Amino acid sequence: MIANPYCVLGILFLVNLLNYVDRQVLYAVFPLIKPDLALSDTQLGALASAFMLVYMCAAPFAGYHGDRSARNRWLAGGVGVWSLATVFAGLSKTFAQLLAARSLVGIGEACYGSISPSFIAERFHLVTRARVLGFFSMAIPVGSALGYVLGGQLGERFGWRAAFFIVGVPGLLAALLCSLLKDPRQDASAPERRLPTWSDYAALFRNKIFVTDTLAGAAMTFAVGGLAAWMPSFFVRNWNVSVGEAGLWFGGVTVAAGTLGSLTGGWLGDWVLRYTKRSYFLVTGLGFLASIPFGVATLLSPDCRTALAYLFVAEFLIFMNNGPLNALLVDCTPLAIRSMAFAVNIFFIHALGDALSPTLIGYVSDLTTLKTGIFMTLAAMFLAGVFCLWGTRYMEAPGSIPVD
């Protein structure tokens, strides 16, 4: 069994990379699926929303069992299910079949997403968790970028179905690796652990740090989910670039800005923590608010190159949240209920976030323009920043961060 903290971090980073490749490849091939299956923008948005709806609903089930059993089995099973579902998406002949395949991806990723952050964080000291989870979360922009690039390039050369086949297969090998990870809770030398009760779970909704973190995450997820789904199409429609170019350019900006933003946010959050407990909320909230003018400039830019420059800065500031917000979730919840805490967080950030935004933006796009729909994401970023700054008022309370 694999128990070394850095080996576990490395393996789950790679798995998280595949996680976001499989998520985002769909968006890169939207322009190819649309004419092939004769879909409206609302239907395309529904493909993204269906995944999120299933993902968020399956998360509490996975979290409940993750708090009670060997988490490596849930990790491995989840990776295997979402990888097979990605392959099945390539076999789809109708909108209903593709919708079902993407929904199954949500089941697999719920098992992984509910468990992996705490599975990693528990192996590292509290004052380094934002950096560790910032590195882990760096897989989000890198995997997303690869999804856009691979989806665009493979889709353009071999067709959109081949893109799903090629990115889905590596996940089956990743599932095997996850089965070899050692869960520290199952160690014979670990103290006996009390199983959580429903009253323990209910206490999450009285935890002001958890609730505020979740509300900020929901607003941020509304914005990021909408941008992830529609920005490649925006580049295609607004500047008449090819599908491959849109995926390459948007993916390149996302991987560069997301990598730097995730690492910077984690480092800065831990550094400021030396001076104030409000650090994680402050770093995240100020980053969210600062991203808004650059988002406006992206949408109003006169040419593609200028838009990409502004988009880089906006994404850098947004992705600074990855380490601090996840570290807060780990730090503010007791060890016994952390899988469920992440599951509840997943449910609400997606129920209020990107389960709605891709379809809503598509609907507004059908009525007006895609640019108008995307402008809604900037209002959501403002709310995310306000929630974070509001959350700082709870950080100085005695006992606000329990000791593991």
* Angle at the Cα of 160 from the Cα atoms of 155 and 165, rounded to 5 degrees: 100
Instruction: State pLDDT tens for residues 217-253.
Output: 999 999 998 988 888 889 888 888 887 788 778 878 8
Query: Which of 28-37, 193-202, 376-385 has maximum average pLDDT?
Result: 376-385
Measured in whole angstroms, the distance separating CA 261 from the mean position of its chain's CA atoms is 14
Retrieve residue 143's tokens: 């995997």
Least confident of 195-199, 222-226, 308-312, 383-387: 195-199
Q: Where are the alpha helices (DSSP H) in 192-321?
A: 198-202, 208-239, 243-272, 279-300, 304-319
Binned at pLDDT 50, 70 and 90, residue 69 comes out as confident
- As a whole number, mean pLDDT of residues 365-393 equals 94
Using the predicted structure, report yes or no on whether residue 192 has a pLDDT greater than 60.
no
Using the predicted structure, report yes or no on whether residue 398 has a pLDDT greater than 50.
no
Instruction: State pLDDT tens for residues 305-324.
Output: 899 999 999 999 999 998 89
CA-based nearest residue to 65, from 174, 195, 214, 205: 195
- As a whole number, mean pLDDT of residues 316-337 equals 89
Measured in whole angstroms, the distance separating CA 288 from the mean position of its chain's CA atoms is 16
Using the predicted structure, report yes or no on whether residue 194 has a pLDDT greater than 80.
no
Using the predicted structure, report yes or no on whether residue 350 has a pLDDT greater than 90.
no
DSSP characters over 25-84: HHHHTHHHHHHHHT--HHHHHHHHHHHHHHHHHHHHHHHHHHTTS-HHHHHHHHHHHHHH
Give the residue with greater pLDDT, 345 vs 229: 345
- As a whole number, mean pLDDT of residues 152-171 equals 90
Domains of the chain by range and CATH?
5-183+199-394 (1.20.1250.20)
| Amino acid 218: pLDDT | 95
267/135 Cα distance (integer angstroms): 10
Place of tokens 């299933």: 54
Q: Is the dihedral of CA 180, 181, 182, 185 positive or negative?
A: negative
* Angle at the Cα of 60 from the Cα atoms of 321 and 379, rounded to 5 degrees: 35
| Amino acid 306: pLDDT | 93
Binned at pLDDT 50, 70 and 90, residue 5 comes out as confident
Instruction: State pLDDT tens for residues 35-50.
Output: 999 988 888 888 877 8
